[in-house]
Amino acid sequence: MAAILLDGNKISAEIKAEVAEEVKSLTDAGLRPGLAVVLAGHNPASEIYVANKVKTCEALGMLSEKYTPPDTVTTHELLELVHDMNRRDEIDGILVQLPLPKQVDAKAVLEAVSPAKDVDGFHPMNVGYLSTQRPGLTPCTPAGIMEMLRRYEIPIMGAEAVVVGRSDIVGKPMAMLLTNANATVTICHSKTHDLPKVCHRADILVAAMGRAGFVTREFVKPGATVIDVGMNKITDRAEFDRYFRGNEKREAAFLKNGSTLIGDVHPEVAEIAGALTPVPGGVGPLTIAMLMANTVKACKLRRGHSLKQPALTTERA
């Protein structure tokens, strides 16, 4: 029996609707949540991402500001911009879009963002809050995955979870959130011995290593929930046939666009998994939704409002 597909677009729409209600309530109380985005230089992919974030902000009723320093911007100039936004009370979230121009010290700029406004959840202080289960801002993609698991009522407490990938953005915070929710968690990486055997133990398998179709059927326990965080582009016909031969809908789109997207999970896994996130339309839509939720959360934490429970809390144990 084919896996149940976990619909990220559906969950994203639910989260955004809840955020819009909270924004209206806060705005009626005189506190309109605000997000500032810094887009330095001219990276086409970054420009698309930022446009989507700004558009979503406005659709949900938030204050949205965008700053576009030139390619020639210096580290000092960006630090001054960040410090200025840190001082402004009406700005609750600051997002510095990566990559920054090569002459900029990206680490210094990111760490200059006030932890209270770090809606990406990357600041070392927020990492510490997550690890000690204190209120703080959590990285958007892992937080979105937790919302998906909860809203699809997939058991987490007591489950064996395996996370493949140890990045600071996804792998490590994902493992911490699952641990905080009382799963038994294993983090795997390129040096893990007999990776398929370790993954095969998992009730919940999170693939976040950035390798197209890497997780095949031998990695997956029958009936497991498989979360595919990967987003890889295929342009080669032979590679397309290896993964999608016989999929007429995919083939038509591939011939039209010259490319298609695949995650880190091989499509054959759908034949044995109990539940699976598709690519596209799985984890991806959750990231911006949780960025919006984090901005509202930052507004409440900064300006003294108690958090609404339980919908958008990302540290539930």
**Hey, which residues are catalytic here?**
53, 97, 120
Q: How far is CA 88 from the centre of its chain?
A: 26
Determine what percent of the chain falls in helix, strand and coil, rounding each to the nearest 5. 45, 15, 40
One-letter amino acid at 198 equals: V
How many other CB atoms are found less than 10 A from the CB of residue 135?
12
Gap between the Cα atoms of 138 and 293, Å rounded? 10
**From the CB of residue 221, how many other CB atoms can be counted at a distance below 10 Å?**
18
DSSP E strand stretches across the chain: 4-5, 34-38, 63-67, 93-96, 160-164, 184-188, 204-207, 225-228, 232-234, 260-262, 275-276
Q: What span, in angstroms and rounded, lies between the C-alpha atoms of 2 and 251?
A: 20
The length of the chain is: 317
